[in-house]
A and B are shown apart, each in its own frame.
Chain A
Amino acid sequence: MIKEENSRRSFFKRAAAALGVVAAAAGTKNLIAASASSAESSSAKYATDVAMQEKAVKENQLVVMTDDEKKQRLDDLLNFHRQEIA
């Protein structure tokens, strides 16, 4: 006599329940993603990202490096690199 809780049927029932949970989670994720993408078009969001880059460049400035600075910069880069691969 096999107990109900140990039977193959109950195992499949639990497996199906687990798969159901996973499927429900995936469905919810897709639903959230779909609603997020419909709220604002991808192009508009991309344009916002690009505008952020433009703003970052505008707020910054290019400064000429002196010979000492150039040497220092190169030394720093090479030292950091050596430390990184060590």
Chain B
Amino acid sequence: MSKVSTKKLDEPDGLEQGRREFLKHVCTSSVAALVAAPAAAGAIAETDNPDADVTVAEFFQGHFVLMSDEEKQKAIARLEKRYSAQYRKKTTVSNVEAPDGVLFGYALDISKCIGCRRCVHACVKENNQSRHDPEVQWIQVMKMPKGNIAFTAENLEKGYPEKSEFGDYGVQVGGNAYKTAGLSTEDAQNYYNDDLVPDRDFFYMPVQCQQCEKPPCVKACPVRATFRDHAGVVLIDYNWCIGCRMCQLACPYHARRFNWGEPNLPAEEMNPKTHYFGNRPRMRGVMEKCTFCVQRTREGRDPACLEACPVGARKFGNLLDPDSDVRRVLATKRVFRFKEEFGTYPKFFYYIG
């Protein structure tokens, strides 16, 4: 009896001792790891190893937006060094802020687009996208039969509650009451491979990130790696992205692309003028998408797709400026909206001139 009670009394002491030892070991290990990690990071960052895709220092860096200026400079210097070694050319990573007093918007004339896909290829080239297996494209051009258009100028303003001789009952009447005035995308096809474009019986509709003013992708990101800058452009911190693809699921337009594999970007094709949130080379397992060519537009230039368009179907500008191209389009052209926008307020407009 007494033997049992002694054992019971001794056990907690033994456990206490064991727990204390365990906690001591855990604490020592944690401290050792904390000391070792920055040292290792520094050591690796110092090397010119072009094979080091993501250095330890990059792995441990915080969200770029929340970094101090000094940390940002260090992060950029690290990236420039790595890219320059990896692609064997002097590479710059810009950190130019979005200009103040600007809200970027885009407009595309469906009646002008000839479906040549020059914008797609210019985008791939400018933004350092993977070139093969697969070639990642941020713009998809859809081909749609022209017969799908359904409106006439005289009926355009109809289809809304109108006053009648019997009074205003809020009843929808008129030309558009029974069918939508617009463009059906039902028969749209992405993988057309025509010898000659344009096909006179078809419209071409390039689709890319709609740069929503209320972006659901931003709300869905669990780590705030994707965010809207103060010029209205939705961007991604590739180093902060955890690759969960929640944003891709949240986007109603499926405009985001995920790097399923290691991107294949040949050194000779790499564009060395990059921006941290834009066209710098990405790594496997992160999301990417159109940024309105942030590396260009933040410096007052036009996006690459607009420059490449041979027929001037693309317009880009500041929605806050009444004299901008986009505002003129909104004021004077027949502008479309998606039937189902899910309250996202896209800043990418399709129109017919």
Contacts and interface: CB of A to CB of B under 8 A. Distances in A.
A18 B181 contact: no
Interface in A1-39: 5, 11, 14-15, 17-19, 21-22, 33, 37
Contacts of A51: 190
B228 A84 contact: yes
B320 A78 contact: yes
A50 B183 contact: no
B133 A43 contact: yes
B335 interface: yes
A61 B32 CA distance: 59
B136 interface: yes
A73 B207 CA distance: 20
Interface in A55-78: 55-67, 69-70, 73-74, 76-78
Contacts of A54: 140, 142, 188-190
Nearest to B249: A52
Contacts of A15: 28-29, 32-33, 36
B213 A85 contact: no
B49 interface: no
A70 B213 CA distance: 15
A84 B231 CA distance: 10
Interface of B: 21, 24-25, 28-30, 32-33, 36, 103, 105, 133-134, 136-137, 140, 142, 151, 156-157, 160, 180-190, 205, 207, 213-214, 228, 230, 232, 248, 252-255, 257-258, 260-261, 284-285, 319-320, 327, 330-331, 334-340, 345, 347, 350
B157 A61 contact: no
Nearest to B189: A54
Contacts of B21: 5
A74 B105 CA distance: 11
Given A19-B36, A61-B184, A80 B214 contact: yes
Given A15-B33, A47-B134, A64-B334, 19 more contacts: A5-B24, A14-B25, A14-B32, A15-B28, A18-B30, A22-B33, A37-B260, A42-B133, A42-B134, A43-B133, A45-B260, A46-B260, A49-B257, A56-B254, A58-B185, A65-B335, A66-B157, A77-B347, A85-B230
B253 A61 contact: no
Contacts of A61: 180, 182-186, 338-340
B254 A53 contact: yes
Given A43-B134, A77-B347, A64 B181 contact: yes
A53 B258 CA distance: 13
A36 to B, nearest CB: 9
9 contacts: A11-B28, A46-B136, A47-B134, A49-B254, A57-B205, A61-B184, A64-B334, A65-B336, A81-B320
A20 to B, nearest CB: 10
A49 B253 CA distance: 11
